[in-house]
Amino acid sequence: MKKTVVALAIGAALAGVSLSSQACFTVIVGKDASATGEILIGHNEDNDRRIITNQYWVPPAVHKAGEMIEFEPSAAKIPQVTKTYGFWWTQTLAPDGYSFSDGFINENGVVVVTNNCNFTIEEKEKVNDGGIGYGVRRLVAERAKSARDGVNIVIDLMQKYGYFHMGRTYTIADRNEAWQIALLRGHRYVARRVADNEVAFMANAFSFDKLNFADKKNVIASPDIIEHAIEKGTYKPAKAGDYSDFSFREAYQPQARRDLPRNKERVFTILEKLTGQEYKNVNDYPAAIVPEKKITVDDVKGFIRGHSKFEKRLSGWHHETMQDICNIGTFDSVVYQLNQNPLLTVAWRAAGRPCEQLYAPAFPLAKPAAAQTYMDPETGTRAQFHATPEQLDYSADRPIFTFLAAQNFLDWMPQEREKFMKYQKRFESEAVADVAAARKEAAQLSGVSTDKARTHLHDFNVRYFNMSLGIASALTQNLNKHAIAIQAEELSKSAGGNVDVVLYSSDDLDATKLDKAKTHFGSPFPDGSIELNKEMAVPAKVRFVDVDGDGRKDAVLSFPVKGASAFTFDNVLTELYLYTVVDGKPVVAFDTVKIVK
């Protein structure tokens, strides 16, 4: 009865509030299940509202005795160790700061990514000194020699400080093994090693079902993980003293979480890709399967580019919700090939939704291109929970906005999107041969000098980043054919009222043929529940006037400021998009404006 009450309470909470951000999807391929013989990790980082991603190389460091680490202002301060490893850091910079969205791979080849598994039975468990959140993955990156060492670091942090989030699952992997460790608010955890012949996958609900707790080599758990569930009333063994029917996910999370369309349909999508069978029941799917064939890197890319056959796509945009694996809120996507030589590990990365971006290969230990961020690591670290409006401003000089613009255009233009996807396949196929050649030459150079090998691979990283940026830039230039002008220097969210936006006619566009019913204006970023910005403004009225005196009538559209500024942030120079249909054809254009209170 108690279990039912808890499940109903949390189910009501799920129905009554927007789900928190930091969602994500992860695929783990064991080395014996992999066509390359390498562990493969595929991960989509899904978030809400305005996110700016940066790529850094943080060098190894020696620290002073007594140095303390502070991440979130309210979290525990943690003593620093004497030496930390170098690592590639994918930052998701947000106005309010995000604790659970960044990705890391360190110089030992240890990868850490996470999935939000919020809404568990653990809401009020105590933590010490504010507990730990962001620090978990960052400290694994700084300190872990191996995946198993990373798991031990997490367990030590859990025991000393406790976790302040209700629930997440961390994937920690290296060239030899991959682990998933589920953390609960407080001090409890469960870790499972992914078998070498398995493919594991998860969206945003705990996936561990029945575990063999006697297998200490492959399963590590808090000593009282079963007893605590019994005390909470969420688990009662069918036979007293026999815990073989204990299911972690059923005891610690209500089924309502797994039943959410955004969770179950993403898992069903990958299961159908893996098995060819249709799944309908969330209680039927396992945490991992043994695939019938070896899984390739392209397979993993296909998994995390996956789209749900249940998504209706009626709005005009291809992406509307999180029912797709590659969804409206995917801000970073990566596939790792974890080579036995960490220097030769490859990360295939897309700077947004991977179905509308190219996976550009890079060797993480050879460092990113300088253009992949606009801050040094120290400034970026300070900004993580204290970002300034200027650090979030739109700037054409910041390449990330070129990648985001490309996907924003493609998402409204189905024919262009289909053409791009064909080119995408060709680009990535050619990149496979380039990666193999770069690996071979780097291996040869390593016999002479590791530094020479690293320099060679860094040049490769820069070249491929520049290629992908050039393609995104050319694509945006080709699709951004039409001009708009926001008739205001600033938009005040508190002032309300309307703002005029002019869509100019040209030789290629007769703005008088605009379809008012298919016109929207506002922020292209997803809303707080990681869905299409449904508060985006629709025109209150449209006038046709020759604004620029060229003899053609332009469209002057009057939009409510409230909708135009939905999910924007104060004092940030923000790009606002006009999505419309003119003479039956989709049209996209954008302009920038400063948002004020």
**The 3-state secondary structure of 143-168, one letter per residue:** HCCCHHHHHHHHHHHHHHCCEEEEEE
Q: Are 336 and 349 in contact (CB under 8 A)?
A: no
Q: Quote the DSSP letter at residue 371.
A: G
């393609």: which residue's tokens? Answer: 471
| From the candidate CATH numbers 2.60.40.10, 3.30.70.270, 3.30.70.980, 2.60.40.3670, the one assigned to the domain spanning 484-596 | 2.60.40.10
Q: Could you confirm whether domain 2-386 is CATH 3.40.190.10?
A: no
Note the pLDDT of residue 22: 56
Total-model pTM? 0.95
Q: Quote the DSSP letter at residue 356.
A: G
Note the pLDDT of residue 23: 84
Domain residue spans of the chain? 2-386, 484-596
* DSSP state letters, 568-594: --TT-EEEEEEEEEETTEEEEEEEEEE
Note the pLDDT of residue 285: 84
Q: Are 51 and 94 in contact (CB under 8 A)?
A: yes
Note the pLDDT of residue 280: 85
Listed as own residue / partner, the contacts of 441-448 with beta carbons closer than 8 Å and 24 or more positions apart are: 442/343, 442/344, 442/363, 443/341, 443/344, 446/341, 446/343
Alpha helices per DSSP H over 242-385? 248-252, 255-259, 261-275, 297-304, 377-383
If we measure between CA atoms, which residue out of 526, 497, 509 comes closest to residue 587?
509
- Could you give the 3-state DSSP secondary structure of residue 287? coil
Note the pLDDT of residue 5: 40
CA dihedral angle for residue 309, residue 311, residue 317, residue 319, rounded to 10 degrees: -80
Tens of each residue's pLDDT in the chain, 597 residues: 344 344 434 444 433 333 344 589 999 999 999 999 999 999 999 999 999 999 999 999 999 999 999 999 999 999 999 999 999 999 999 999 999 999 999 999 999 999 999 999 999 999 999 999 999 999 999 999 999 999 999 999 999 999 999 999 999 999 999 999 999 999 999 999 999 999 999 999 999 999 999 999 999 999 999 999 999 999 999 999 999 999 999 999 999 998 998 999 999 999 999 999 998 887 888 899 999 999 999 999 999 999 999 899 999 999 999 999 999 999 999 999 999 999 999 999 999 999 999 999 999 999 999 999 999 999 999 999 999 999 999 999 999 999 999 999 999 999 999 999 999 999 999 999 999 999 999 999 999 999 999 999 999 999 999 999 999 999 999 999 999 999 999 999 998 899 999 999 999 999 999 999 999 999 999 998 899 999 999 999 999 999 999 999 999 999 999 999 999 999 999 999 999 999 999 999 999 999 999
Residue type, 223: P
